[in-house]
């Protein structure tokens, strides 16, 4: 891409930014979307919401959401129509091809580790669009429809491409505004919950191994009986010692599981989207052996004891599995109580945000000689520019350098105006295409850990300023043997770990 091409993209992006001014309160109040807000609080709610709400005009064929991207917004169709393509990016758009990337455990999308896996149910990526949109067959959403809320609330990859069928006008609700509206307008939240229940919940339940063999009728019963709950950061979902009266499936967010030992709360593991807990306690009449607490905003599916037991009545073969999981759960609880240091590692990961990391670079400072061979190897592999910095957070004798974690939910991919930062379907690496990056720095600003660098290309913009592009670790994708930062360390001090694998973390950080 030439400098002129990049400048043209930048101008288009800046023009789009000019449109993203906070919406006018009167214009919002006139929309049916906000009709459920009680009149006495409407003015206050709209004032708090409007900084996160913008009107967005789309030209015919213009894309609002792309499959595989990450989004922090829901979209309401004010006028016109949009079409949804699931399983393809729509005519003329090419879906990324997996590059064979695997998790550090060697398996695409590996679970949270042997100990956690035996103790709790581990799920799969959960889509957010209805199954009737497949291949090149689109479904059409008209004025008054909303889309994208599942990805925004749960931070799943967008599972469909949505584009304007003709000229259209959307209202974009960024996540803080969406949460404010859901809290202030119970009717609006009920509508979203019912959409999820009717369109997607059945598929989510079927992807939980426990329900994989259930008949469509049995899944339909569970779908209607389920409660849809939301918890704020720090909220206690269930307390250790209480009767285990519910089954929980995590729709979005992270849930910490901890046990009380003396006066301390020891973290045992955590749950993420697609994971579940509580099934054995319901069937075997147990109490919660740990406390469940929301680490961040959490969306849950809840099934009560009677509904869960009724659903299992025709599946006697599950009893043996539930017994085994209960035994494993109690062993894990006992292990945490006997070894508080192991819990300390998990708590550190939760406190620092490392639990989001699928491939985190660690350097053992006890053996590192500061030779910088890792940095030099990185620079040699990336055209002379190292894409990580050998400085960062320290924990005991370990250094966590400033290097991309390849997060489970990479928020850096939100708001990239050219789609330059991507993760191909089925792979681990989040990569930047320097030829289409316009240097807007959205990804660097969105990264909560500061792991994306902005570097000069040597080119000059029309206004005389140097052209910058994003640079980040891509795990040396395409190279044989894995990340060169690990391979080039002469002392074996550098390693990559997944914070999904809690057993590996405990072994590494001891």
Find the angle CA(52)-CA(431)-CA(6) to the nearest 5 degrees. Answer: 70
What residues does each domain of the chain span?
201-351, 353-509
Per-state percent for the chain, helix, strand, coil, to nearest 5: 35, 25, 40
Sequential DSSP letters for 91-158: TT-PPPPP-----TTSSTT--S-HHHHHHSB-------S-TT--TT--EEE-TT-EESHHHHHH-PPP
Q: What is the pLDDT tens value at each position of the chain, 510 positions in all?
A: 566 676 776 666 665 565 567 788 888 989 999 988 998 999 999 999 988 898 988 999 988 888 877 888 899 999 999 999 876 444 444 333 333 333 333 332 322 332 333 334 444 444 455 444 444 467 899 999 999 988 888 777 787 899 999 999 999 998 899 999 999 998 898 888 888 888 888 888 887 777 777 788 888 888 899 999 989 899 999 998 898 889 898 888 889 888 887 677 777 778 888 788 887 677 667 788 889 999 888 989 999 988 877 777 766 666 666 666 667 666 666 666 666 666 777 788 888 888 888 899 999 999 999 999 999 999 999 989 999 999 998 988 899 999 999 988 788 887 787 778 888 767 889 999 888 888 888 899 989 899 999 998 888 777 778 888 899 999 999 888 889 999 999 999 999 998 877 777 777 776
- How far is Cα 361 from Cα 373, in angstroms, rounded to an integer? 15
How many angstroms separate the Cα of 292 from the Cα of each of 234, 243, 326, 382? 10, 13, 16, 43
| 201-351 CATH pick, 1.10.10.10, 2.60.40.350, 2.60.120.10, 2.60.40.10 | 2.60.120.10
Decide: 171 and 56 in contact? Cβ < 8 Å: yes
Query: Does the predicted model carry a pTM greater than 0.95?
Result: no
């Amino acid at each position: 891409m030439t400098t002129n091409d990049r400048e043209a993209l930048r101008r288009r992006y800046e023009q789009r930014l000019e449109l993203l001014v906070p919406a006018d309160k009167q214009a919002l109040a006139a929309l049916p979307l906000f009709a459920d807000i009680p009149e006495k609080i409407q003015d206050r709610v709209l004032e708090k919401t409007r900084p996160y709400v913008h009107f967005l005009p789309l030209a015919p064929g213009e894309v609002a959401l792309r499959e595989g991207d990450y989004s922090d917004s829901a979209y309401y169709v004010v006028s016109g129509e949009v079409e949804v393509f699931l399983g393809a990016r729509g005519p003329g758009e090419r879906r990324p091809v997996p590059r064979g990337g695997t998790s550090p455990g060697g398996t695409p999308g590996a679970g949270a580790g042997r100990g956690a896996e035996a103790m709790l149910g581990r799920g799969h990526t959960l889509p957010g669009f209805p199954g009737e949109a497949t291949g090149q067959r689109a479904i059409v959403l008209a004025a008054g429809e909303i889309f994208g809320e599942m990805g925004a609330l749960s931070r799943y990859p967008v599972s469909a491409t949505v584009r304007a069928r003709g000229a259209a006008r959307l209202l974009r609700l960024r996540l803080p505004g969406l949460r404010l509206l859901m809290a202030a307008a119970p009717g609006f939240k009920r509508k979203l919950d019912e959409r999820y229940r009717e369109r997607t919940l059945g598929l989510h339940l079927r992807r939980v191994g426990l329900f994989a063999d259930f008949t469509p009728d049995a899944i339909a019963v569970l779908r209607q009986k389920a409660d849809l709950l939301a918890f704020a950061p720090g909220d206690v979902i269930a307390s250790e010692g209480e009767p285990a009266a519910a089954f929980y499936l995590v729709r979005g967010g992270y849930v910490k599981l901890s046990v009380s030992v003396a006066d301390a709360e020891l973290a045992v593991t955590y749950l993420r989207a697609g994971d579940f807990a509580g099934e054995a306690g319901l069937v075997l009449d147990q109490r919660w052996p740990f406390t469940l607490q929301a680490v961040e905003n959490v969306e849950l599916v809840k099934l009560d004891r009677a509904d869960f037991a009724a659903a299992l009545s025709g599946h006697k073969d599950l009893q043996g599995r539930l017994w085994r999981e209960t035994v494993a759960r109690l062993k894990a609880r006992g292990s945490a109580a006997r070894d508080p240091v192991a819990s300390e590692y998990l708590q550190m990961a939760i406190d620092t945000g490392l639990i989001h990391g699928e491939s985190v670079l660690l350097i053992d400072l006890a053996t590192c000689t500061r030779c910088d061979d890792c940095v030099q190897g990185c620079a040699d592999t990336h055209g002379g520019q190292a894409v990580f910095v050998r400085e960062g957070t320290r924990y005991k004798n370990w250094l966590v350098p400033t290097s991309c974690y390849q997060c489970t939910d990479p928020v850096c991919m939100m708001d990239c105006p050219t789609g330059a930062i991507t993760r191909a379907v089925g792979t681990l690496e989040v990569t930047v295409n320097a030829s289409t990056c316009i240097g807007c720095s959205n990804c660097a600003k969105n990264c909560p850990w500061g792991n994306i660098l902005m570097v000069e290309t040597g080119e000059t913009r029309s206004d005389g300023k140097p052209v910058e592009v994003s640079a980040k670790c891509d795990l040396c994708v395409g190279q044989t043997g894995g990340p060169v930062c690990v391979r080039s360390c002469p002392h074996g001090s550098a390693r990559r770990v997944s914070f999904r694998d809690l057993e590996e973390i405990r072994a590494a950080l001891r």
